Chain A
Amino acid sequence: MGKYLRKKLMIYIITFILAVTINFIIPRMMPGDPIQSLLSRFSGMEGGRQILEEQLTLLFNLDQPVWQQYLNFWKSVFTLDFGISIIQFPTPVIDIIKRAIVYDLSVLFPAIILSWIVGNKLGAYSGTDKKVDNASMPFFYFLASSPYFWMAGLVAFFFGVVLRWFPISGAYSAVASPAFTWNFIKDFLHHWFLPFFTMFLVQLGGWAIGMRNMIMYEKSSNYSKYMETLGSSKKLIRKYGFRNGVLPQVTGLALRIGRIVGGAITVQVVFNYPGLGRMLLDAVQNQDYFLMQGIFLTIVTMVLVANFVVDIVYMFIDPRVRLSFTEEV
């Protein structure tokens, strides 16, 4: 059990080191000159010269040897000092991230959990019932095949433009200001629903398909056949199949989190939802490298933490891992 966690943790630490290193290397290796573009941006601003010098010393330190630059870069990671944003000058990058991450978590967390639960249930039903299967599978395949942003467009068009039930832009009305009042929460939830629903729908298809296939395989295994000959009800066989099939689905969750977070980036663009994804794109389009590096690291960290949580959950639900750590084959 300890070995299992240690091994996973090591992978995540290496991944984190790699992500920081990618962040460090890419601006230094790529064609084009970030410094020139920075110079032209800051030259017009008040006190720009001084800020610019500080930024460059902090993140590039080009006069020092490379290993020294690399160490300094790590120092800035641990002190959460990602520099100052250019688009929202002179806000520190970390403040922008803190503000934006609320919107990511409030959409992603419920969407992932709910779609996983509902998708697995629906998949288990269509795995054991041929009629339900034939009717629902094309629909699930369609959901799973949709690009996130396209589903966002479809949902926005149908619920936002045709039915006019939900607003389709922003995280709250222009007149509202963030406060802990009932009106604001209502307004927030009203704007929150469509991005959440989009993320929920696309993932739902994937989970349902996965569980349906798992149940199919479990159904052809000997214990299911034996139960069938004993005259067990369909429901009972499904229940046992579900318990076996749910394990790979938990592993699947760990595998997919990265992709889901990617999808969320495009969904936020469609709904103009001010989360990290939307900010990342803004940063890229405006060549705000500091903001981009900060957000990239934050997203990677979020995904790594989520993966680790899934690993711990897996350890508790799979007795084989809990009792002894065996190499997966």
Chain B
Amino acid sequence: MAKDFWAKHENLYYALTNKKVIFGLSIVILVFLLAAFGPLLTRYEYDEYAGQGYLPPSSEHFFGTTIDGKDVFTRTVHGLRSTLLVGAIAGTIATLIGCIIGFVAGYYGGTIFDELLMMLTNIFVVIPQLALLIVIAAFLEVRGTFVMAVIVASTAWPWTARAVRSQTLSLKNQEYVSLSKISSISVGRILREDIASNMFSYVFMVFIQQFNGTMLATVQLEFLGLGPTKGISLGLVMQNAVNWNGIQLGMWWWAIIPGLILTILITALYFINTGLDAAFNPRLREM
């Protein structure tokens, strides 16, 4: 039974036995657990006065306290939740938009339709993302989680569209796709069943990369004070630290640790991606 299963899902087997994937996945799970259960480990609210200010990490305050006596651990885990949520929603939206445009443009490769879609994509590629986001976010006075995600996703999709398009171009002349075409199967079904289903592992890796990118874009916006208007976020914790001279005062637990967690998470996701790349590409597997 088990053998049959692994024989059928060979890719999954190679993926889950890859050292980089195992290493990355363990860290990602740890960080997600921290975001999920972290708030239960602390007695404080993220915005309440939790004790003396300027305290380095201790068993009482895991990540120390801010200058005005708030618990950095509490702020970090709550902020992590918000940032992960925005990043995940934005990453999903961006992957979807990118894939749809990529599939359609690739399938109609060489036509005017493809040219137009690619022109749109190329325009979005060159527009400086963060500057545009700042201008958009500045005029939206109230920003919720979902609005944030849409703002971030609206500038994150172009490279995915390009990558998916070139993959589609290489798939669409395969014989089984031609067979579907002469069987007058609808375009939507060909894209879904013949092309998308053969690119599942690729799209999954694209999603991980999108997730990385959207988290970075989100945390940058949050750091500039243009994150969700309510609640706390990882970028906001660090913005406070910089604004209150946390770096000059040597409060590394306030200015460095929250970002370190995010950086480690993104590094781990990169590791998973490299591992998956090796698992899905037999050419790289022997390395």
Contacts and interface: CB of A to CB of B under 8 A. Distances in A.
Contacts of A144: 270
B256 A154 contact: yes
A150 B247 contact: no
B223 A269 contact: yes
B200 interface: no
Contacts of B133: 262
A102 B19 CA distance: 47
Most buried by B among A27, A145, A146: A145
Interface in B182-229: 212, 216-217, 219-220, 223-226
A156 interface: yes
B133 to A, nearest CB: 8
Nearest to A14: B123
A220 B284 contact: yes
Contact of A304 (B126, B139, B270): B126
Contacts of A261: 128, 130-131
Interface in A286-301: 292, 295-296, 299-300
B256 to A, nearest CB: 6
Interface string B232-247: 0001001001100001
A18 B139 contact: no
B221 to A, nearest CB: 9
B135 A303 contact: no
B187 to A, nearest CB: 21
A147 B256 contact: no
A294 to B, nearest CB: 12
Contacts, number: 166
A12 interface: yes
B259 A153 contact: yes
Contacts of B219: 147, 150
Given A147-B223, A255-B125, A269-B223, A161 B135 contact: no
A145 B135 CA distance: 25
Given A11-B119, A145-B266, A296-B135, A329 B166 contact: yes
Interface residues of B, number: 57
Given A154-B256, A285-B225, A142 B263 contact: yes
B131 A262 contact: yes
Contacts of A262: 128-131, 133, 217, 220
B252 interface: yes
Nearest to B242: A270
B159 interface: yes
A265 B130 contact: yes
Given A14-B123, A144-B270, A149 B139 contact: no
Nearest to B124: A15
A12 B259 contact: no
Contacts of B250: 157, 161-162
Contacts of B226: 284
A265 B287 CA distance: 40
B238 A138 contact: no
Main secondary structure of the interface of B (DSSP, over half): helix
B71 to A, nearest CB: 20
Interface in A206-253: 209, 216, 220
B159 A11 contact: no
Nearest to B121: A11
B140 interface: yes
Nearest to A283: B138
A303 B126 contact: yes
B122 A263 contact: no
B211 to A, nearest CB: 12
B19 to A, nearest CB: 11
Nearest to B133: A262
B154 to A, nearest CB: 12
Nearest to A308: B126
Contacts of A168: 247-248
B283 interface: yes
Nearest to A216: B284
A141 B170 CA distance: 30
B134 interface: yes
A266 B138 CA distance: 15
25 contacts: A11-B122, A14-B119, A15-B126, A15-B127, A18-B127, A26-B139, A141-B274, A142-B267, A145-B264, A149-B242, A149-B259, A153-B256, A157-B250, A157-B255, A160-B247, A216-B284, A255-B159, A258-B129, A262-B217, A285-B225, A295-B131, A296-B134, A300-B128, A303-B128, A307-B126
Given A18-B127, A262-B220, 6 more contacts: A12-B126, A18-B123, A216-B287, A261-B130, A263-B130, A265-B220
Interface of B: 110, 119, 122-123, 125-136, 138-141, 159, 166, 169-170, 212, 216-217, 219-220, 223-226, 235, 238, 241-242, 247-248, 250, 252, 255-256, 259-260, 262-264, 266-267, 269-271, 274, 283-284, 287
Sorted nearest first, the 7 A-B pairs with minimum C-beta distance are A262-B130, A150-B259, A30-B139, A145-B266, A258-B128, A284-B138, A145-B267
Interface of A: 11-12, 14-15, 18-19, 22-23, 26-27, 30-32, 137-138, 141-142, 144-150, 153-154, 156-157, 160-162, 168-169, 209, 216, 220, 254-255, 257-259, 261-263, 265-266, 269-270, 280-281, 284-285, 292, 295-296, 299-300, 303-304, 307, 327, 329
